[in-house]
Amino acid sequence: MFEKLRNMLKDFSNIIERKVKEKGKAILEGETILDAKDLKEPLEDLETALLESDVALSVVEELISGVREELVGKRKKWGGDTGRLVNEAVRDALLNVFSVDAGAADVAELDFEQFLDKGDKPVNIVFVGVNGTGKTTSIAKVAKKLLGWGYSVVIASADTYRAGATE
């Protein structure tokens, strides 16, 4: 009974010793190793900002988890570009959130060009959302892409709040 506990404590001690050596080696090499406590407050702030921006809770949780996973244990040179490191972690987490899991039954990948070619004509695309979320910009980008693909585009506005958005 005590042998198993003694072995567990020995393993735990070895893990802690290895972590201390890693930190010491990093210090000697002019690096720091990011750990969970370094990221706790910034990740909480990011989570709050995302939730206040009406991002779905499940997406926020997955994104925060992905960023944490990317950054915890990462070695960073002193004076190195922290912004680049963080941006890469957020980008990778976002790509992971937006990637389609082929095994998921409730998610199907949309081939937009195929949808346009095989769908009923004319194809209607509706953009809906609260004010200030980028619908007008997205519509302009999609319209430009469609024009580039050789489609004709008609845009109709139903914005009662900002009638000037039509122009």
| pLDDT digits 0-9 by tens, 10-44 | 665 565 556 556 666 666 667 777 778 877 888 88
In this prediction, residue 147 has a pLDDT band, given cuts at 50, 70 and 90, of very high
63: exposed, middle or buried (C-beta count within 10 Å: 0-12, 13-18, 19+)? Answer: buried
Q: Which two tokens stand for residue 153?
A: 């585009």
Max Cα–Cα distance, the chain, nearest Å: 78
Q: Which two tokens stand for residue 48?
A: 């709050």
Collapse the DSSP code of 141 into the 3-class scheme (helix H, G, I; strand E, B; otherwise coil) and give the result.
helix
What's domain 2-98's superfamily in CATH? SRP54, nucleotide-binding domain (1.20.120.140)
In the chain, what are the domain boundaries?
A: 2-98, 112-166
**In this structure, what are the phi and psi dihedrals at residue 165, rounded to the nearest 5 degrees?**
-65, -20
Collapse the DSSP code of 76 into the 3-class scheme (helix H, G, I; strand E, B; otherwise coil) and give the result.
strand
For 3-46, the DSSP string reads HHHHHHHHHHHHHHHHHHHHHHHHHHTTEEE--HHHHHHHHHHH
Quote the percentage of the chain above a pLDDT of 70.
Answer: 68
